[in-house]
Each structure stands twice: as structure tokens, then as C-alpha cells.
Amino acid sequence: MTDGAGNALTGTSYFTNPMVEESMLHLPAALDHPTPQAFRKYLIEHLPQNSVTTRRRAAARIVERFTLQGSINQNLAHALRLYGSSQTGREIFYFEYIQVIPLLRDIAVRWLAALPDTGGTRESLLGFIQPLIGGNDVVKVAKHSAQALKDMGKLSRPKVRHYKAIWSAPPLEAFLYILARMFPERSMVQVETFGGENLIRAMLWPVPCLPELLKAAEQAGHVSKISQLDQYHQFTLAGTGAERMLMLLLLGPPGPAGDVVGRPTEAKPRNQLDLFGQATSGPVPTKKGGKSHAG
């Protein structure tokens, strides 16, 4: 698709066909079909549209959005297999989604997060999008953007042609996932800087919720230290992002007999890859009787 000047429209300037529910439903299958080619074939066979042509087009779009480092995003596939369409699953999916669709991230950061408590009109959304994409598709892009944000729990429509932002603290598991994705190395981070990041602003997390989330992250072993001296409030992450992601997605809570629960057997890996697509140096850690799953 091109704009009025004949230039190709990319994810930075155009957005349509959100396919939020279809993507969330089928992405867990990427654990068994990790390559773009295999996952595309799977989608063509399993998407609900009647027309093969439509399924092929939808499959190509989903594969394009979620291919990461040569394979379908395995972190996201693991998370959605584990958390499904729950609030945790949607929060994680939204984080990954706005990274691959910069236009939607811009809408979330610069328009949705900036709305007053009373909300904003459809006209204000159209006015925000118009300078970004030009052309004659502003109404279509606005419609699909609002629908995607609504499907992911970030926008409500209290009345016709009126929108409100939904600010809420994330579930702890989603917070831990996003920490692992944002900080792949063991880092020391200032809380104020973290709260001001565009990605965090796009998540619509109220800043006052961050201290309690960080305390919970410390208890969960994902943060090693929290320091607050005068105007400095910072936290230190425990281990690498890959290690923290393994803790989150591979080691479930112990059951009555000490077994690991919550990880389906079909997600067991065929090779030793960590969740960021890098070769590991040893076996994936598990508890006795547990099931291990790597991306």
C-alpha cells in the first residue's frame, strides 16, 4: 500500500487490521511452529476466515508483526500459552504489539496518555493521526487504532465518538516480563527515569504504583536491591533479562507435592535455546517432576 505520493506505507506510518484476538489465540502455536514459514502455514490452516486469500493475507501480516531475530517471538508465545487472554496475557501482548507498530505506540504515548480525565473525542484522534500519515485513510486508521487499544484494555468508549484512557497497575507477572524485555543486562535503574520512558507511559501505568511493584519484584527475585536516598530512588535488577525471563516463564509455582505446575507439556523444547534466541551453556533448570520449556 502506498501514500498519496506513491511511497510505501510501513508500520511507522500506517496501521490497519489489528487482529488482536486472532494473534493472541494462535501465537502459542509458534512454540511448535517457530519459523516464520512454518507459523504462516499453521495460520493459513487455522485462521477462521472463509477465504483462503484472506487467510493468507492475515497470516502474512501476523507473521510480519511477530517475527523476531528470525523466528516468531518465543517470549510472547510462551507467555500467551501460560497466561492466555487474561489481564496478564493482554498486558504482555500489548507491550510487544506497540513495539512492532510504532504508530500505535505514538498514539498511546502522545494522545491517549495525554487525555484529560474527561476523555477525548473522535475528532481529536483524527486530528492527531492526520499529520502522521496524511492521505485518505485517516478515518480507517483511527478506527482500527481505537479498536486495538480497546481490545487490549487500554481505551474505553463511554459514549459514541468519545474515548477515555484506562490507567491501571499491571499484574506482577506482566511487570516482571516487561522488566526482562526492557533490561536484557543486569542494570541499575532510576525509578523516575523508568517511569518517564515512552514505553512505560504507553503502558498507562500510574506512576504511584511503581514502588509497590518493585517491592514485589524484589520478593520474587527479579530485583536484587532497591535504594532510596534523598531524591534518588533506584533499583538494581537481579541477573540478566534472559535469566529473569526463565524464572518467570519456565519455573511455575510449586504444587502440593513440590511439582512445578502451570506449564503445558507440549511447550517442551526440542533444543537448548533461551527465550531470547541465544544458545544456552547448559540444561534448562527445572524442579523435580517439573516440565521445562524454552523458546
pLDDT per residue over 92-115, tens digit each?
999 999 999 999 999 999 999 999
Quote the pTM value.
0.81
Q: φ and ψ at 145, to 5 degrees?
A: -65, -45
Residue 210 is predicted with a pLDDT of: 96
Give the chain's domain count: 2
For residues 111 and 158, state if they share a domain: yes
Residue 9 is predicted with a pLDDT of: 35
In this predicted structure, the answer to whether residue 255 has a pLDDT above a threshold of 50 is no
Dump pLDDT digits (tens) for 162-180.
Answer: 999 999 999 999 999 999 9
In a domain, 149, yes or no: yes
In this predicted structure, the answer to whether residue 36 has a pLDDT above a threshold of 70 is yes
In a domain, 157, yes or no: yes
In this predicted structure, the answer to whether residue 272 has a pLDDT above a threshold of 50 is no
- pLDDT level of residue 15 (50, 70, 90 thresholds): confident
CATH of the domain at 145: 1.10.10
In a domain, 145, yes or no: yes
Residue 19 is predicted with a pLDDT of: 96
For residues 186 and 222, state if they share a domain: yes
Question: Which domain covers residue 233, as residue numbers?
Answer: 172-237
DSSP string, the chain: -B-TTSPBP-TTT------HHHHHHHGGGGGTS-SHHHHHHHHHHH---S-HHHHHHHHHHHHHHHEETTEE-HHHHHHHHHHTTSHHHHHHHHHHHHHH-HHHHHIIIIIITT--TT-EEHHHHHHHHHHHH-SS-HHHHHHHHHHHHHHTTSEEEEETTEEEE---PPPHHHHHHHHHHH--S--EEEHHHHHHSHHHHHHT--GGGHHHHHHHHHHTTSEEEEEEETTEEEEEE-S-HHHHHHHHHH-PPB-TTS-B-S--GGG--SS-B-TTS-B-SSPPP--TT------
In this predicted structure, the answer to whether residue 10 has a pLDDT above a threshold of 80 is no
